[in-house]
Structure 1
Amino acid sequence: MEKDYFDKLIEQYSKNELGKEKRKIMDDWFEGIQHPSGGELWTDEERKNIKAMILSEVKPVKTFVPLWKKVAVAASVLLVGTAVLWIYQQKNMEIDSVSPLVTTDTIKPGEDKGILYHASQEQVQLNNLRKDSVYVFGGIAIERIADNEVRVMPGADGGTEIQHIHAPRGGNFIVQLEDGSRLTLNANSSISFPSSFDGRLREVSTSGEVFFEVEKDRYKRPFIVNAGSSTIKVLGTKFNVNFKEGEFLRTALFEGSVQVSNKGFEVRLAPGEELCVDAKGKYTVREFESERVGAWKEGYFALDNKNIEEIMEEVADWYNVEVSYADVNLDIRYQGSISKFSDIHTVLEILALAKGNTFEIKGRRIMVK
């Protein structure tokens, strides 16, 4: 069983065993909790108090969060998650000194992955295509323009067959459509779109979580997003859609204007507003923090007052693991953020600091108890 990560980091800092980059993060960490950083003079009691202050007072910030394209840097700075997390229970906060029970199994974070299911049902692994090359698959042409991004264009036959692109569990991917709009797919998310947009509108369908950056169209064709029975209509804007059939729909508007409608309602959102629809079709509109909703796109998990089941659903998709539960404590609520490029053991060590939930890894299955 591994020693607590907070204790390790504090010990390494006090002995001046951290590299320049990690040392800078730790200095910022202590500045954030307004505590002197003279580690060589700390007593055991002071270290205990430092740990308690970090857990109870540090607010979620974006300072240390890696961008998607900085995976290598993020992976080397594993203490990112611990620097921006605090955990609390609904009644009394209690820190658990017991680390999660783990094995030596290696579970890696997600990476750039995308799969095209085109009209002939052939599967194309988009992340394996050569960069700066154009490939034709039936009625669609695809150019790999970056490690994590492709541009899709109509094929020579001018067809309108529906194409499907899926970011599987354990992967994110970016798709640029023929009109220049960019769609960033979270793990276990999909989009469907025609080989070529017609002269009236631009229409796509989505499942899972997708961040849309819609380009304004010179022909002023509206951009339509279908999410189950709901429709999102825009002209040019940035917004996040998180949809699971039979469970929920959440649409958060960053820029511009969108109109969300189905049989039960029609709502126009302003920037900074999020529409939440439950399984019964009941909806609410609330303000949201862009750092929270866009966290997955920027490379971290925003815990956002979630319980352990809600958090582990995201962890399961990103690390491509199965999760089971036994007598979990759903009263524990978490705040802050954890780097998505942390080792799975680091993520679970941090979550286990809240007394009541521990973790066991067997193969690619995580037991929460």
Structure 2
Amino acid sequence: MEDEHVHIIINLLGKSLAGKITPGEQKDLDKLIREYSLEELVADLGDERYVMQHLRKYTKYDVKDGFQDFLNVVGETLPEKKTKIKWIYWCSVASVLLFVLGFLFFYHVENPKGDEIRGERKDRLENMESVRLFLADREEMVLEAGYDEKHLNSLGIFLSVGPRILDYTRVRGRDSLIGEHTLVVPKGCLYKVILSDGTRVTLNADSRMRFPAVLGSSCRKVYLEGEAYFDVKRDENAPFFVEGRNFSVRVLGTTFNVMDYKDEEQSQVTLLSGSVEMCMKDTVVRLSPGKQAVLEKGKFVGQRLVDPLPYVSWLEDKFCFESERLENVLRKLSRWYDIVIECEQDEVNDIYFTGYIPNDIGLKEVLQLLEETADIKFFERDDKMLVRCVKN
């Protein structure tokens, strides 16, 4: 890489991450990214979890020595006589540029030959580039790459690739003109949507939501498969409905969590604030804050008082397990890390776990934590993970 291009890429990446890049500069950056095969680097910089994980790693290095190592790789050196004031200037550069320098350091120093990314990190990167939006005419857009931003802007939809937000609040027009959109979030990531009325929705991994680009003035309705957290904008004249597979949730303005995965035996609606009605085929249940309605295999089994926070811990990058069977734990891990995990013995499923585990760490670390908690052992076979009981 030519010295001049190193500085240009750093400068343009910093502007891009800060949202200050011009269309012309973006075109130049895209060309340089393709020329030097930096697509994976850019994808990493847009992944908050990957950024935070590697920033913790970056803090182990002496900043000045590490920067010198980076310059050695790209063919430059720091002057031997460098004043304290000038070095303070480098330390005070905007954090976004430090991110870029740090990532370039890891890419070029730790992987000088550009080795292919393998294992779970490669899978996570591929997933992070596959968040898709289907428009009313079934046109498909890949959101994480940001290539469809111009077209979305023409519809009044704002796309933020860095924080991963899709904002419909500036969309204007009749429902019949814009129609329903479908957002598909793959395993391994989250995505936020601000609907046209200001309602905020965060979709968990392996989820999809179908919704009108412009919500109706008398009724607002979305369709969910998977899990999502809702912060509904209150409107007395237009109740808000979340349609699941076997139930409907009716609200006016409140915050709640809906979990309705096909591979889970239970579906749950957990209320944090306000009031909601959960409507099933023959039953209507009104929830108050701290209450959770539970369906099992499509049938209502009751409501219970819970601490809502563990059920929305995924919003804070955590797995929360409260006396949870191992088979349920493994489904959550499989959904996030996009890997098949199976039990070799039936008795393994009877093990229960309680506690929090951060989900911004690698799968290997998570499995090690589980192994330290119970007499189990994970091992890999034929592109999937197996678990068995072990004797002390």
Equivalent of 1:151, from 167, 181, 195? 167
Match of 1:47 in 2: none
Match of 1:119 in 2: 136
1:34-91 CA distance string (max 9 Å, x none): xxxxxxxxxxxxxxxxxxxxxxxxxxxxxxxxxx96763456669xxxxxxxxxxxxx
1:154-182 CA distance string (max 9 Å, x none): 46575252211011012210011101111
Tell me if the contact between 2:267 and 2:296 (Cα under 8 Å) persists in the aligned partners: yes
Match of 2:34 in 1: none
Equivalent of 1:232, from 242, 249, 265? 249
Map residues 1-369 of structure 1 onto 2, 5 A cutoff: 72-73=51-52, 106-108=119-121, 114-129=131-146, 135-136=151-152, 141-145=156-160, 146-152=162-168, 154=171, 158=175, 159-217=177-235, 220-245=237-262, 247-328=265-346, 329-362=348-381, 364-369=383-388
Q: Distance in 2 between matches of 1:192 and 1:365?
A: 32
Q: Please give the secondary structure, in 2, of the residue aligned with 1:352.
A: helix
Q: Structure 2: give runs of 5+ residues left out of the alignment.
A: 1-46, 58-116
Tell me if the contact between 1:253 and 1:273 (Cα under 8 Å) persists in the aligned partners: yes
Using the TM superposition, give the Cα deviation of residue 206 of structure 1 relative to its aligned residue in structure 2, in angstroms: 0.4
Q: Distance in 2 between matches of 1:236 and 1:134?
A: 32
Amino acid at match of 1:161: G
Tell me if the contact between 1:134 and 1:141 (Cα under 8 Å) persists in the aligned partners: no
Q: Structure 1: give runs of 5+ residues left out of the alignment.
A: 1-67, 79-103
Tell me if the contact between 2:343 and 2:349 (Cα under 8 Å) persists in the aligned partners: no
Match of 1:18 in 2: none
More contact order relative to length (CA 8 Å, sep ≥ 6): 1
TM-score, structure 2 length as denominator?
0.63
Using the TM superposition, give the Cα deviation of residue 244 of structure 1 relative to its aligned residue in structure 2, in angstroms: 2.7
Cα 1:367–1:74 change in 2 (3 A) is same
Using the TM superposition, give the Cα deviation of residue 282 of structure 1 relative to its aligned residue in structure 2, in angstroms: 2.9
Q: Distance in 2 between matches of 1:280 and 1:173?
A: 27
Q: Please, what is the CA RMSD of the aligned residues?
A: 2.8
Cα 1:209–1:179 change in 2 (3 A) is same
Q: Distance in 2 between matches of 1:196 and 1:211?
A: 20
Q: Distance in 1 between matches of 2:298 and 2:273?
A: 28
Q: Please give the secondary structure, in 1, of the residue aligned with 2:314.
A: helix
The more displaced of 166-175 and 148-157 is 148-157
Tell me if the contact between 1:75 and 1:342 (Cα under 8 Å) persists in the aligned partners: no
Q: Which structure has greater strand proportion?
A: 1
Match of 1:27 in 2: none
Cα 1:128–1:105 change in 2 (3 A) is closer
The more displaced of 106-115 and 304-313 is 106-115
Q: Tell me the matched-pair count.
A: 274
Q: Distance in 1 between matches of 2:172 and 2:133?
A: 15
Cα 1:302–1:128 change in 2 (3 A) is same
Amino acid at match of 1:150: L
Q: Please give the secondary structure, in 2, of the residue aligned with 1:254.
A: strand
Using the TM superposition, give the Cα deviation of residue 288 of structure 1 relative to its aligned residue in structure 2, in angstroms: 1.6
